[in-house]
Amino acid sequence: MLTKVFGSAVFGVEATTITIEVNMDKGIGYHLVGLPDSAIKESSYRIAAALKNNGFAMPGKKITINMAPADLRKEGSAYDLTLAIGVLVASNQIQTEKVEQFIIMGELSLDGSLQPIKGALPIAIKAREEGFVGFFLPKQNADEAAIVDGLEVYGVENLQQVIDFFNQTGTLEATKINTREAFYKSFELPEFDFSDVKGQQSIKRCMEIAAAGGHNIILIGPPGSGKTMLAKRLPGILPPMTLREALETTKIHSVAGKLKEAGLMNQRPFRSPHHTISNVALVGGGSYPQPGEISMAHNGVLFLDELPEFKREVLEVMRQPLEDREVTISRARFTITYPSSFMLVASMNPSPGGYFNDPEAPVVSTPQEMQRYRNKISGPLLDRIDIHIEVTPVPFEKLSDTQQAESSSEIRSRVTKAREIQSARFAEMETVHYNAQMNTKHIRNFCALDVASLQLLKTAMQRLNLSARAYDRILKVARTIADLEGSENVQSAHVAEAIQYRSLDREGWLG
């Protein structure tokens, strides 16, 4: 008897339906074809034990299973439940014609219980697109998949529940979630708040500008000046995620198997990888491609602490994703694209010892060491960072001040208003949503300067020895400063403030 059941494979952040054909014939044997990996090939042992422990048996016949399309590599143990149901239907141990209406996924334990899977959300989205009635999957993933409307999602704890459903000897309730209500109801205030930061008013202002325009930013200062403390509080002043952004972000974390809680993510991600990270771990890839840290930070913040300590080749692979806001991983048989639209926040010491130009510095670096340290950051990478700001240690008087500082929610309200202005400005553009995404054409259209502002910018570039690459960055930041003030035009005061945030472009910083 030939039976068809359906599973799904995830490539990138999109799912592909897999047709599993199970054929029973005379003889003895178990043959699995269709480019399965080792985990799938081992499934026969898990399936046999799970069936026996639930009162069923592996049929003593020749079983041939084809996973189509046969030229597409399948991986992981999530096909255990699909294969088990296919074997039971083909051997007439389950009497049903409804099995082809469902996507079935789950990893089996030897006692028939189910373990969670990766990528439940993109699988559910694809199942609805292709007109499947429902989706059987482990109970731990049910809330995640139930985000998708118009699909009956059945979270099951074991193999027996699925068998009873198809044999009509048991009932299962589909998991229902009001996506919008759950998304907005579960919104929480950020863990870290700017009210905890003493002093550093100019740095807070700079972080507000970065958040309002989605600008990449680098903080330069000695150890203990508060660079990490400030960076951790940046997500708390970013505008709340939209439903579309939340869905995109949740899909990526679902594929990686790193969703901390079921349901849609409503907090912008904050990723802070260690400086020993590899190229693949940062941008994604591997023999079985997985999203890297830059994709896990999609719609959020990627914080690289002590930027010069990262391997130069690791930093260089970020250049294309920073520009294109997506990363493409190519293999001989397929190409995968992961979204990676994130804010880069980096920090560094001004010198290897950390105390550049400090007369009381405990460590003095030689000119050669200084040059080598600064040259670890290439010009092309620096070109993609809009704001450079020097962070100085907080004096004791500020640290001991008991006055409450401005909270993140107050700053966020101003940032959100500025983002709304930008959303209206770029409403007819598909690829531009905030100022940092503007290209040269957009800058000419939306950042026009009057004669006084142009003269100010020209003078600054000449006197401060600013590089040519600083020109566009200054205009983008000035546009954001104008938006924060509700100004329709970029004025000289906005340009003057933006010029202050290009310290690394000044001659001598990076050789």
Taking Cα atoms as reference points, which of 436, 422, 438 lies closest to residue 488? 422
C-alpha dihedral, 238 to 210 to 308 to 348, nearest 10°: -90
Determine what percent of the chain is predicted with pLDDT higher than 70.
Answer: 93
Task: Output the pLDDT for position 356.
Answer: 61
Q: For 503, how many CA atoms within 13 A lie in the half-sphere containing its CB?
A: 13
Domain 2-177 matching CATH 3.40.47.10: the answer reads no
For the chain, domain boundaries? 2-177
Q: Quickly state the pLDDT bin for 186 (edges 50, 70, 90).
A: low
Query: How far apart are the C-alpha atoms of 488 and 494, rounded to whole Å?
Result: 12
pLDDT digits (tens, 9 = 90+) for 189-244: 677 889 888 888 889 999 999 999 999 999 988 888 889 999 999 999 999 888 88
pLDDT digits (tens, 9 = 90+) for 86-102: 999 999 999 888 999 99
Structure tokens at 471: 């020109």
Highest mean pLDDT among 175-189, 253-267, 305-319: 305-319
Quickly count helices (H) and strands (E) in the chain.
22, 18
> Which string of DSSP letters, residue by residue, matches 359-386?
TT-S----HHHHHHHHTTS-HHHHTT--
Q: In terms of residues, how long is the chain?
A: 511
Highest mean pLDDT among 343-352, 363-372, 391-400: 343-352
Task: Report residue 479 CA to chain centroid gap.
Answer: 27
Q: In this predicted structure, which of 15-29, 47-61, 207-221, 347-361 has the lowest mean pLDDT?
A: 347-361
- Work out the number of other CB atoms within 10 angstroms of the CB of residue 326: 15
- Mean local confidence (pLDDT), 320-349: 89
Task: Output the pLDDT for position 364.
Answer: 66
Query: How far apart are the C-alpha atoms of 70 and 104, rounded to whole Å?
Result: 19
pLDDT digits (tens, 9 = 90+) for 98-114: 999 999 999 999 999 99
Task: Output the pLDDT for position 189.
Answer: 66
- Mean local confidence (pLDDT), 366-393: 82
